[in-house]
Each structure stands twice: as C-alpha cells, then as structure tokens.
C-alpha cells in the first residue's frame, strides 16, 4: 500500500495477509515501490504512483493492482494484461462527489467566488457597489459536457437545478437516442466543434489517453465563445495549460476552473497571475465519505482477487486475464 488509506476493511486484509504500508505521506519513489513490491501479490496504488512495464517486470508475484481512483492513466493496463495482472479502479463511489465539486467550480468561476475571497483577505474591498465584481448568470445557458460517462452524466443531471441546458459529445459507438435528464428532457448531442462553439460552460470529464491528450489546445480554445468558461475535472494533460493561460490572457475565453494539472503538483506559472481562473488542488472526490468508500473498494478488490473471486471493479480490458 503506497500510502495510508482511510479504510475500515484494512483489519480484514491484515488479518489474512501481510500488509506493508508506506508511512511517509509523500509516498514511495518508483524505485522504492519496485523494491518493496518485489514479492507482493497486490499493490494498492494511488494516482501519484506510476505502475508501468518496468515495475511490473520486477514484481513477478503480482496478481492485482488496485488503484484508489476512478482514473487509471497512471497504470499501464496493456502491460499488466500481458503479465496477467488484474487492474481495478474505484468508479461509482466517487461519482456524486466529483459532480458536486464540478458545480462548485462552475459557480466559483462564473460568480468569482475565489477571486472575491482573495480580494476581501487582502483588504481591497471598499463596500457594495452596483457594478462591482460582476459575474454571469447560468440560467438559460448551455453546459457542454465532453466525456459523458458516469461523472459527466451526474454533472448533467444537476444542470436543471441551475436552469441550464446540456449538450454533450456522444461516444464514438454512436448513441442512437440522445441521453436524457432525470425528468426526460433530452440533452443535445453535438460534434466536439459544435459543442465548443455553442457552449457557455465547457466541462471536461474524459479519461486521459492518446486521444484526449491536449484535446483542449490553442485551436480548440479559439473555437469557444469569448464569454465561455472551461472546467477541467478530468486529467491535467487533457488541457494544454500554456495555451489556456494564453487564451485567458488574450480574452479568448472569459474564465476557467481547474482541479487537475499537467505536472501535478506544479501549476503553469502564467496561471497564477490570472484572476479569472480558479485553481483547485485535485479535490474532486475529496470528502471523508467518498475517500473512505474508495479505499474500502480498493481493499475489497484485493481481497476478491487474492481469494480467487472476480474483482468488483476491474478496469476495461483487464479482466478476465488473458489465457497463457
């Protein structure tokens, strides 16, 4: 276990297996993981740990990597599959938490909440004024969701509460019927370009992979409305951070809110000077309840695999293992 976990099922795991927990909260280096996991049958990893072919070559006993996150771009799934190592993640338990946080970011950006907080703290507030720090309304506007998976759909489901219409980019498989809101209202399926051109808020919820790396770059940012806001709750490299800083500085878009960054915990320095971007420290799923549920699910996945049962939440392509 590469970091301590807030799990209630640890006792069950340690009663039956030898569990080594890395105590330093900054986590082990790649070399330290490889040394300590050399004879392990399971690794419980976090998004900050890289589980790649080089590591997997040094862990011949390994049967499962349980990643405590819904995203698993830190794990080389094809390399694990080749070595018959099952990879699991923690979907569902964090969906609502991430969707709620997305709305927090949308509100923070459009109503300038973080910016206002900074202003008050530095003693720069001189009282109520009719034209002071004006934001923009959400009602009647379009929320464009890129990545209409579990979290994207949960974000969309809350849009009605703010009077927003939802547009989304259908998955490649081609959804015949448009996805619908809980009250039956159909969402608008659009091409990526149509969505960028027409949306007032563009919210990213795609997994990171070769197809989504820098999906938002100078070219796509230039397609957005000048009044629009970008929200990134997916993974940092989905957005070209330097291009985003440029687009904000030049007024190509009105604002942004980021929970994730290209080189965490580093943030592109140009973003610090831009008041119109909200910078959050990767907190999408960060509630006590959700983080405990994620940790519990990861441990239960390990118990299932080591007990010879099916994992609860294997990532696509990881289970069942390939025949030898």
Strands (E), the chain: 42-45, 64-67, 86-88, 142-146, 165-168, 188-189, 201-204, 229-232, 255-258, 277-279
Please report where in the chains the tokens 């209409």 appear, as a residue.
148
CB of 47 to ligand GLV, least distance (A): 5
Closer to ligand GLV by CB, 70 or 143: give it.
70
Any bridge partners for residue 154, and if so which? none
CB closer to ligand GLV, 83 vs 150: 150
> Which residue, 94 or 304, is less far from ligand GLV as judged by CB?
94
**Exactly one of 235, 268, 291, 300 is catalytic; which is it?**
235
Report in angstroms how near the CB of residue 259 gets to ligand GLV at its nearest: 8
CA angle 78, 84, 86 (to 5 degrees): 75
> What minimum distance in Å lies between the beta carbon of 74 and ligand GLV?
9
Question: Long-range CB contacts (< 8 A, 24+ apart) of 81-87?
Answer: 81/317, 81/318, 81/321, 81/322, 82/322, 83/56, 84/321, 84/322, 84/324, 85/56, 85/59, 85/321, 86/305, 86/311, 86/314, 86/318, 86/319, 86/321, 87/51, 87/314, 87/315, 87/318
Shortest Å, Cβ 131 to ligand GLV: 39
Give the residues lining the site for ligand GLV (CB under 6 A). 47, 69-71, 94, 284-285
Q: What is the DSSP code (8-state) at residue 78?
A: H
Q: Which of 180, 188, 223, 282 is catalytic?
A: 282
Please say which residue, 98 or 167, places its beta carbon nearer to ligand GLV: 98
282 is catalytic: yes
In sequence order, the β-bridge partners of residue 239 are 216
Mark whether 235 is an active-site residue: yes
Please, which residue, 41 or 46, has the CB nearer to ligand GLV? Answer: 46
Given the residues 32, 250, 264, 289, the one annotated as active site: 264
Shortest Å, Cβ 67 to ligand GLV: 8
Closest distance between ligand GLV and the C-beta of residue 241, in Å?
17
Distance linking the first and last C-alpha atoms of the chain: 28
Active-site residue, 309 included:
no
Residue closer to ligand GLV by CB (options 152, 284) is: 284
C-alpha 271: how far from its chain's center? Answer: 20
**Which residues contact residue 192 at a Cβ distance below 8 angstroms, ignoring those fewer than 6 apart?**
146, 169, 220
Instruction: List, by residue number, the catalytic residues.
Output: 235, 264, 282
């Amino acid at each position: 276990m590469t970091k301590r976990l807030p799990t209630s099922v640890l006792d069950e795991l340690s009663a039956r297996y030898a569990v080594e927990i890395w105590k330093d909260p900054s986590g082990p280096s790649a070399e330290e993981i490889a040394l300590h996991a050399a004879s392990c049958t399971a690794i419980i990893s976090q998004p900050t740990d890289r589980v790649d072919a080089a590591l997997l070559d040094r862990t011949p006993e390994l049967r499962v990597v349980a990643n405590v996150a819904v995203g698993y771009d830190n794990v080389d799934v094809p390399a694990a599959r080749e070595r018959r190592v099952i990879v699991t993640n923690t979907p569902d338990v964090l969906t609502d938490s991430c969707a709620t946080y997305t709305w927090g970011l949308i509100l923070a950006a459009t109503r300038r909440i973080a910016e206002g907080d900074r202003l008050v703290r530095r003693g720069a507030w001189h009282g109520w004024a009719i034209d002071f720090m004006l934001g923009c309304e959400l009602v009647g506007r379009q929320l464009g969701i890129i990545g209409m998976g579990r979290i994207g759909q949960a974000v969309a489901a809350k849009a009605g509460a703010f009077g927003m219409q939802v547009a989304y980019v259908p998955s490649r498989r081609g959804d015949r019927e448009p996805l619908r809101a809980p009250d039956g209202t159909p969402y608008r399926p659009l091409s990526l370009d149509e969505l960028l051109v027409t949306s007032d808020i563009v919210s990213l919820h795609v997994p990171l992979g070769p197809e989504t790396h820098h999906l938002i770059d100078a070219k796509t940012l230039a397609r957005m409305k000048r009044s629009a806001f970008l929200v990134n709750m997916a993974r940092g490299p989905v957005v070209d951070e330097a291009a985003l800083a440029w687009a904000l500085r030049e007024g190509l878009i009105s604002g942004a809110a980021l929970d994730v960054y290209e080189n965490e915990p580093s943030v592109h320095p140009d973003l610090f000077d831009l008041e119109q971007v909200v910078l959050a420290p990767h907190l999408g799923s960060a509630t006590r309840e959700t983080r405990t549920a994620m940790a519990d699910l990861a441990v239960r996945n390990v118990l299932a695999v080591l007990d010879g049962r099916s994992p609860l939440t294997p990532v696509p392509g990881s289970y069942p293992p390939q025949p030898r």
